[in-house]
């Protein structure tokens, strides 16, 4: 199986900016680590421009270790899951402090923000170790290949156990990347292209006639809904932005002031300053454990409003504020409402 998967990979590998071509010397651990952290909960297409910007600005782990934390957070804005960015800096500093990445899974796992999967991916891809990283693509391919019927997340152990014996001694990193590519381009979630698959002859899922049944997913739980309110306060071509507390959701990121997302839809939240407030509508944003509906209210500030813990940010440079996606959506809504008011 490994030989046919590797032969397929040699001809069909995706050309990704953090990769080395099939069979070439492996990429630097820094590139593998950075890409894997970015790709957690993020698509390849979304992560690629961020990866390019990071590599240009901080070409090695020492450069990232020496970076200003606010600069890194600003470059990360829009990738979500901001605790990853904070761990990224902590990890870069730990690696620079020890003179480079450890080359095995145990050493990698001891670093900030590196879990089992990322440790296995780096050890396999950058250091050629025989590891079993299981991301969503590999999980799907292996669950189908062996028709593993145990529902996730319990089924993960069975998937890893089935994968382990087929990992080759040589080119283990290429093998892992080959399975990732196979899952992304051939063994796709809804309509696997089994006719083009090098594993077809060995695949129990294909033989069952309904491979898309695997992996078996647990029933979906509906996410709770939370309601919040954010305030757009404008004065002389600038908007009032605050820095969120370091701990908690979107920690340390710039944002509009808000009510902690506990406001009731009846408008009970109290704005930071008195004024002629009007609602612009609301934006929706999905977090891992809840969906948020954030109403955005706006007003113009009096000449010297009593505000603390933030800064007046020029509207013309709003793109450079590094607002996380939720607040970038809220800002777009407020700006559109302001434009509408001026046109009326
Ligand atoms: Fe997936 Fe089909 Fe290949 Fe099996 S044969 S691994 S189901 S694409």
Express each pLDDT in 182-201 by its tens digit: 999 999 999 999 999 999 99
Q: 196 CA distance to ligand 1 centroid (A)? A: 9
Residue 20 Cα, ligand 1 centroid: separation in angstroms?
Answer: 25
The beta-carbon contacts of 158-162 under 8 Å, at least 24 apart in sequence, are 159/134, 159/215, 160/132, 160/134
Asked if residue 246 has pLDDT above 90, the reply is no
- Give the mean model confidence (pLDDT) for residues 301-325: 87
Which of 142, 187, 190, 208 maximizes ligand 1 atoms within 8 Å of its Cβ, making it the mutation to test the pocket? 187
Q: What pLDDT score was predicted for residue 109?
A: 97
pLDDT attached to residue 266: 47
pLDDT in tens, 132-157: 999 999 999 999 999 999 999 899 99
Question: Could you tell me how many helices (H) and strands (E) the chain has, helices first?
Answer: 13, 6
Which amino acid residue places its CA nearest to atom 2 of ligand 1?
194
Instruction: Tell me which of 181, 211, 213, 214 to substitute to probe ligand 1's pocket, judged by most ligand atoms within 8 Å of the beta carbon.
Output: 211
Atom 5 of ligand 1, nearest CA residue:
200
Q: If you average pLDDT over residues 121-133, what whole number do you get?
A: 97
Residue 193 CA: nearest ligand 1 atom is 8
The reported pTM is 0.77
| pLDDT over 80 (residue 344) | no
Q: Checking DSSP bridges between strand 291-300 and strand 310-314, what pairing results, if any?
A: unpaired
Give the three-state DSSP class for 270: coil
Residue 27's CB: how many other CB atoms inside 10 A?
18
**Distance from the alpha carbon of residue 199 to the mean position of ligand 1, in angstroms:** 6
Q: What's the 141 CA to ligand 1 centre distance in angstroms?
A: 7
Active site residue 36: yes
Cα–Cα distance for residue pair 93/112, rounded to 1 Å: 10
- From the list 36, 105, 139, 295, the catalytic residue is 36
User: What ranges in the chain are assigned the alpha helix state H?
Assistant: 2-12, 29-39, 44-57, 61-65, 69-76, 83-98, 105-109, 116-125, 136-145, 155-163, 172-185, 204-208, 325-343
- pLDDT at residue 306 tops 90: no
Distances (CA, A) of 230 to 34, 207, 224, 240, 339: 33, 54, 20, 11, 19
Q: Is the CB of 144 under 6 A from ligand 1?
A: yes
User: Average model confidence (pLDDT) for the chain?
Assistant: 93
Expressed in angstroms and rounded, the spacing between residue 15 Cα and the centre of ligand 1 is 22
Q: Which of 232, 255, 226 has its CA nearest to residue 243?
A: 255
Q: Give the pLDDT score at 157.
A: 95
Please check the confidence at residue 51 and state whether its pLDDT lies above 60: yes
Q: Is the CB of 213 under 6 A from ligand 1?
A: no
Q: Assess whether pLDDT exceeds 60 at residue 241.
A: yes
Written as six digits, the tokens of 297 are: 């209210």
Residue 316's pLDDT is what?
A: 94
Q: What are the tens digits of pLDDT across the range 199-239?
A: 999 999 999 999 999 999 988 888 999 989 999 999 989 99
């Amino acid at each position: 199986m490994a030989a046919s998967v590797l032969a397929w990979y040699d001809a069909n590998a995706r050309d990704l900016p953090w990769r080395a071509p099939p069979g070439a010397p492996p990429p630097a651990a820094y590139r593998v680590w950075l890409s894997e952290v970015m790709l957690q909960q993020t698509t390849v297409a979304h992560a690629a421009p961020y990866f390019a910007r990071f590599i240009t600005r901080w070409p090695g782990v020492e450069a990232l270790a020496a970076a200003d934390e606010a600069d890194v957070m600003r470059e990360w804005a829009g990738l979500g899951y901001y605790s990853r960015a904070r761990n990224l800096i902590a990890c870069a500093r730990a690696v620079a402090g020890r003179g480079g990445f450890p080359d095995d899974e145990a050493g990698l796992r001891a670093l900030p923000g590196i879990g089992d999967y990322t440790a296995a991916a780096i050890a396999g891809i950058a250091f050629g170790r025989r590891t079993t990283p299981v991301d969503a693509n590999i999980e799907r391919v292996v669950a189908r290949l062996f028709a593993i019927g145990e529902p996730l997340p319990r089924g993960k152990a069975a998937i890893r156990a089935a994968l382990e014996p087929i990992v080759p001694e040589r080119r283990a990193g290429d093998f892992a990347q080959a399975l990732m590519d196979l899952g992304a381009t051939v063994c796709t979630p809804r309509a696997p292209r089994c006719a083009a698959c090098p594993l077809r002859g060995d695949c129990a899922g294909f033989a069952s006639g309904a491979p898309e049944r695997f992996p078996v997913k647990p029933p979906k739980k509906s996410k709770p809904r939370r309601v919040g309110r954010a305030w757009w306060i404008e004065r002389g071509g600038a908007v009032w932005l605050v820095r969120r507390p370091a701990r908690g959701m979107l920690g340390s990121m710039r944002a509009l002031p808000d009510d902690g997302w506990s406001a009731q839809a009846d408008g009970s939240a109290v704005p930071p300053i008195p004024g002629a407030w009007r609602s612009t509508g609301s934006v929706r944003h999905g977090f891992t454990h809840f969906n948020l509906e954030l109403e955005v209210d706006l007003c113009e500030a009096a000449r010297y409003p009593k505000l603390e813990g933030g800064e007046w940010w020029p509207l013309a440079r709003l793109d450079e504020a590094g607002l996380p996606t939720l607040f970038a959506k809220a800002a777009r809504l407020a700006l559109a409402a302001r434009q509408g008011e001026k046109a009326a």
